[in-house]
Structure 1
Amino acid sequence: MKNARNARQSGFSLIELMVVVAILAILASIALPSYNNHVRKARRAAGAACVAAVAQRLERVYTTDLSYAAAPNIATLSASCDSDALRYYTMNTNVAARTYTVSAAPKGAQSGDSCGTLSINQLGVKSPSTGGCW
């Protein structure tokens, strides 16, 4: 007759399972913010590319008309931008005869971005100029 103490049990105990779950939770809490930061940086790059594309279109308008005032509206200017840039950034232009400022303000899931609003003017001055935002 077999003794209950000598019988081998197979499988995992509840304590072992909970330790594994705790380790996975710790790893996830470290990896998720890093992943979110990476996604924000990718969206920021798309927003910066859209701002640069709109600025280039404004420069083409100035080349032909010698004035930025003849530029089309922002919807037309940003039509060639990536859909992610337009989904996570609100594009805006401030155009005068000899000056312009193109800006992209983060919205939605991108609103927590540390760089905030990206902008460029007719002189090529980019804002914010620090922190690797461009």
Structure 2
Amino acid sequence: MRQKGFSLIELMVVVAIVGIIAAIAYPSYEQYVLRSGRADGKAKLMEMLQAQERYFSQNQTYTATLGTGNGGLGYTADANGAVASQSGKYNITAAACTGKTIGNCVNLTATPAGGQANDSECGTLTLDSTGVRTESGSGTVATCW
């Protein structure tokens, strides 16, 4: 009578194949997760720049206050004045552009938070009111934006 089932060698071959497939797929999955997190940060930067432009059209100046304080944009900010993106993958802050005053140019910075901090390709994303976009990672502005 013949027994039914798998031999140990057959089982080990299947485990090896699954391991190889996982070793190839997991890094791609990690990159996908980081790339989707970047979309969250970019969307919040664009939303906040639109709010800054509305504020500028009413007050003839930009503001570094993103929270609900006097002269702020009304977002919920933490103790440092940073506003979290929709899924919390970035913290957004505002400051005057380099060499300019807050009255005529605002620079929004999205600093990665949590697991997104592992994004060495793009790192910190910035967008200013003149349309200049930057990133602090090893990638390029074209690949990060």
Match for 1:16 among 10, 13, 33? 10
Aligned length: 124
Deviation at 1:11, TM superposition (A): 0.9
8 A contact 1:115–1:131 mirrored in 2 = no
Aligned residue number for residue 43 of structure 1: 37
Percent of aligned pairs with the same amino acid: 39
Deviation at 1:32, TM superposition (A): 1.1
8 A contact 1:105–1:116 mirrored in 2 = yes
State the one-letter code of the partner of 1:90. Answer: N
The 1:81–1:56 alpha-carbon spacing in structure 2 relative to 1, beyond 3 Å, is: farther
- Unaligned ranges ≥5, structure 1: 1-6
The 1:106–1:82 alpha-carbon spacing in structure 2 relative to 1, beyond 3 Å, is: closer
- Unaligned ranges ≥5, structure 2: 77-82, 97-101
State the one-letter code of the partner of 2:144. Answer: C
Give the TM-score, by structure 1 length. Answer: 0.83
Match for 2:104 among 93, 98, 106? 98
**Bigger radius of gyration, 1 or 2?**
1
- Kindly report the root-mean-square deviation, in angstroms, between the aligned alpha carbons of the 2 structures: 2.0
State the one-letter code of the partner of 1:56. Answer: Q
Deviation at 1:127, TM superposition (A): 0.7
Give the TM-score, by structure 2 length. Answer: 0.77
Q: Which has the higher contact order (CA 8 A, sep 6+)?
A: 1
1:74 is paired with a residue of what secondary structure? coil
8 A contact 2:84–2:90 mirrored in 1 = no
Structure with a larger share of its residues in helix: 1
Deviation at 1:130, TM superposition (A): 2.4
Deviation at 1:82, TM superposition (A): 5.2
Q: Distance in 2 between matches of 1:47 and 1:110?
A: 10
Aligned residue number for residue 4 of structure 1: none
2:109 is paired with a residue of what secondary structure? strand
Aligned residue number for residue 127 of structure 1: 134
Match for 2:66 among 74, 87, 95? 74
